[in-house]
Amino acid sequence: MSKLIQIFSSRRTWAWPYVLFMALFVILPLILVGVYAFTDINGQFTVRNFAKFFTHSEAIQTFLYSLMIAVFNTAICLLIGYPAAYIMAQEDFKTPKVMAMLFILPMWINFLLRTVATVELFNMCGLPLGEGALLFGLCYDYLPFMIYPIYNTLQKMDNSLVEAAQDLGANRWQSFWKIIVPLSMPGVYSGIVMVFMPTVSTFAIAELLTHNNIKLFGSLIQDYITTTDLLNYGAVLSLVLLIIIGLTSFFGDHDSAAGEEKGGGLV
Amino acid sequence: MRRLMVIGYWLLVIALSSFAQSNLTYELKVGMTGEVKVLQDFPETYAGEKINIKVRGERVEVKGLETLDFAFSYESTEALQNWGDSIYSFTDETGTFWTVWQNKKEIKNRAQRVKVNNAYKTFTDYIVSHTAVEKRSRGWIWWVFAGLLFAGTALYGGYILYSRRKEQSLSSVEQETLRRKRMGMRRHYGSQLYLWLLLLVLYAPIALIAVFSFTKSKILGNWTGFSMDLYVNLFTGKADAGLNSAIMYTVIIALIAAVCSTILGTLAAIGIYNMRARHRKAISFLNSVPMINPDIITGISLFLLFVAMGVSQGLATVCIAHVVFCTPYVVLSVLPRLSRMNPNTYEAALDLGATPAQALRMVMLPELWPGMLSGFILALTLSVDDFGVTFFTKGSGGLETLSTFIYSDARKGGLTPELRPLFTIILLVMLIGLVVINIRNNKHKNE
């Protein structure tokens, strides 16, 4: 009994319930994805599901298409979001906090409802619901995730560096490309990761935005995983997605740690 | 430069006009031989009545029949096979082939009662397929947009001409300073304009929801006159029963998840803070896993776990799943408070004879309170907003939260109208909160 009291009075042990909880509900399920991917319906070991994936042209095509859409969406968000973050981080910009909140506020409205409203808006303007609508909707949903980290790094940046560059004869453009852009790279990387990862795994949004005409990888996984006999194949697709996510987050981690490293490509 | 802008503007207008599509109106007489072919008995009761079918982009509205006041169209018939059975099909004067589909997927949920020849009949949603060739013409929004752009250019041009004339009387030095000042101003206003345009686009769909919360129409985008009925329905519980239970479950799940994750996360944060560096690193990696994982992966992996364990999915599994993705955020919001507080006060309390529980309650909690509160609020928002994880862990017992309810609603082709006032109110509360916080911050600054 006294030993028990001793154990619980050590604050280190207070994390144990959480560790146990995480092991059971985070680590074990992730392992299970792998287990299901390598077994058939009866629980026998098999690699047939993987073979099916590599010969299943629909799955491969959808996968590549989703990657492409995610890359495009990330690029668009970066192109639109960077200037916005840059403007907000300027010293003479008077209400950056309000502006940042205004950009985040739409996220309190359920994203599916916003998506349906976007579809309606496209209908009202007579615009077709195709790839354009899909990219618009995705960009609309994930733009705040790009603006916020970039704004944060730009705001924390030491402004005297820019002044120093200008004193040394750099014009506005040069000081922007040689000072501000490299210094904001950590924010850009985390923005890219924060936009790319949810986009590549998105489901539901694509379906609603294009009236089921365009299928992304997430929807494909959803279809298979909710069909009982194809659950194992769904697990294979999830594993593929998981690998992509792992690679992306590694990319984000690595580069935000390296900070000043020059930017590489996506993925 | 200015000339380029004007050219760009007109190019934009031309490009937009090629996108804009028509509002065609088909007027059909149901029951006329050769034009309408009745496959089942339902439309016969409408023989001789006029139906207005309006094609708007991809959507087809069928007016004149109360049942068919909205419908969706699909390009290919294969897509339709998944949606339901065809009720009847017909060809109109222009040779367009129409099929009316009954949506069999969610029949039990969305049955509508319709008055037909003084007798009530129950119908579900109907989907109309069309292969209509749409004429290209401009929608009204296009005119508004073009008008605004035109007025803007005209005003700006007028202003430029006016200021030019004024300038000529100035000396060359004054002109130069004026030019510089104007450059700065232009940059300033340009960047302001950019942000506001972006916000305009971001808020346009939300504004649509808010505006159409004041009309009774079932379809978003169909204005049938001002009415507060939807608000009344929402507050008197007259809205769709599914919506009411979805709101209830959303609140219950969010509260349970937030409370559990706050307790678990705070304890974990205290534990992690007191660990050796190596362990701390390992656990913070573990902590970041659910945050990095996209919701579909969290959802699927938990779904597989529950399937493997043979647990029937419902309220409990959804709550567990929400605790999984909420707790890491609580841990992250409590940890900074811990590093700010004096680590010896807890031990001092123990030395003075307090039990660990007392020391926690009387020494630690008052210090950690703000971090716990922000973690709690964060957990609430995350839980309410979640769709992916809930979707995979809710099971098939009919449990719906707001997100999943909206999803299944949208797939059926129409949103429950009471969702519009609900989210308008949420937006309004958030906006008011923002204003209040801003005013308080300003006061703080002034003091």
pLDDT at B110 over 70: no
Asked whether the beta carbons of residue B267 and residue A14 sit closer than 8 angstroms, the reply is yes
Average pLDDT, integer, range B76-93: 40
* Residue with token string 């590694």: A250
pLDDT of residue A120: 79
Asked whether residue A37 is domain-assigned, the answer is no
Q: Is the dihedral of CA A187, A190, A193, A195 positive or negative?
A: negative
Q: Which residue of B lies nearest to A250 if distances are taken between CA atoms?
A: B292
What is the nearest CA distance from A120 to chain B, expressed in angstroms? 7
| pLDDT for the residue numbered A6 | 63
Identify the CA nearest to A109 among candidates B404, B109, B358, B424: B424
CB-based contact B275 A114, cutoff 8 Å: no
Closest residue in chain B to residue A118, using alpha carbons only = B205
A25–B305 C-beta distance less than 8 A: yes
Could you tell me the pLDDT band of residue B431, with boundaries at 50, 70 and 90?
confident
B19 vs B436, more confident: B436
> Which residue bears the tokens 């030993």?
A3
Q: How many angstroms away from the CA of B282 is the closest CA of chain A?
A: 10
Q: Which domain holds residue A86?
A: 56-258
* pLDDT tens, residue by residue, A33-80: 988 888 887 778 888 888 888 888 888 888 999 999 999 999 999 999
CATH code, A241: 1.10.3720.10
Residues above pLDDT 70, as percent of chain B: 67
Residues of B in Cβ contact (< 8 Å) with A97: 438, 441
Distance from CA of A48 to the nearest CA of B (A): 19
Contact A205/A111 with Cβ under 8 angstroms? yes
CB A219 within 8 A of CB A207: yes
Rounded to a whole number of angstroms, the distance from the CA of B59 to the nearest CA of chain A is 7
A86-95, B323-332, B378-387: least confidently modelled range? A86-95
| Counted domains in chain A | 1
Nearest in space to B4 (alpha carbons), one of B146, B147, B153: B153
User: With an 8 Å Cβ cutoff, are B141 and A28 in contact?
Assistant: no
On chain B, the residues whose CB falls within 8 A of the CB of A42 are none
pLDDT at residue B124 in the model: 30
C-beta atoms of A143 and B202 within 8 A? yes
Is 60 exceeded by the pLDDT of residue B120?
Answer: no
Residue of A22, A221, A238 with shortest CB distance to B286: A22
- pLDDT at B61 exceeding the cut of 50: no
The shortest C-alpha distance from A9 to chain B (Å) reads 6
What is the pLDDT, as a whole number, of residue B222?
Answer: 66
User: Which CATH number describes the domain made up of B240-415?
Assistant: 1.10.3720.10
More confident residue, B365 or B110: B365
> Which among B208, B274, B301 has the least Cβ separation from residue A30?
B301
Instruction: Count Cβ neighbours within 10 Å for each residue of B263-277 and write b for 16 or more, e otherwise.
Output: bbbbbbbbbbbbbee
Q: Is the pLDDT of residue B374 over 80?
A: yes
Test A17 with B302 for CB contact under 8 angstroms: no
Tell if the CB–CB gap between B323 and A90 is shorter than 8 Å. no
* A194 contacts on B by Cβ (under 8 Å): none
In a domain, A264, yes or no: no
By CA distance, what is B265's nearest residue in A?
A18
Assembly ipTM: 0.84
Nearest to B293 among A84, A109, A245 (CB): A245
Q: Which of B296, B387, B426 sits opposite A221 (nearest CB)?
A: B296
DSSP string across A212-234: TSS--HHHHHHHHHTSGGGHHHH
Residue B59 has pLDDT above 60, yes or no: no
Kindly report the nearest CA distance between residue B87 and chain A, in angstroms. 21
Q: Is 70 exceeded by the pLDDT of residue B212?
A: yes
Note the pLDDT tens digit of each residue in B309-345.
888 888 999 999 999 999 999 999 998 888 888 878 8
Which of A19-28, B109-118, B419-428 is predicted least confidently?
B109-118
The size of the A-B interface in CB pairs under 8 A is 259
Tell me: pLDDT of A142 over 80: yes
Residue B97: closest CA among B70, B127, B128: B128
| Chain B residue with Cα closest to A219 | B296
Q: From residue A1, how far is each of A4, A17, B50, B351 by CA, in Å?
A: 5, 20, 85, 20
Q: How far apart are CA B114 and CA A259, in angstroms?
A: 64
Measured CA to CA, the distance from residue B422 to residue B426 in angstroms comes to 6
When pLDDT is cut at 50, 70 and 90, the band that residue B11 belongs to is confident
- Say yes or no for a CB contact (<8 Å) between B411 and A121: no
Q: pLDDT-derived band of residue B221, with 50, 70 and 90 as boundaries?
A: low
pLDDT at B376: 93
Name the minimum distance, in Å, from the CA of A29 to any CA of chain B.
5
Decide if A120 contacts B211 (C-beta within 8 A): no
* Mean pLDDT over each residue of chain A, to the nearest integer: 82
Contact A207, B411 (CB under 8 A): yes
- If one compares A1 and A30, the residue with the highest pLDDT of the two is A30
What are the two backbone dihedrals, phi and then psi, of residue B62, each rounded to the nearest 5 degrees? -115, 110
Q: Which among B19, B208, B265 has CB closest to A127?
A: B19
The whole-angstrom separation of Cα B55 and Cα B21 is 10
pLDDT bin (cut points 50, 70, 90) of residue B134 is very low
C-alpha atoms less than 13 angstroms from C-alpha of B261 in its C-beta half-sphere: 35
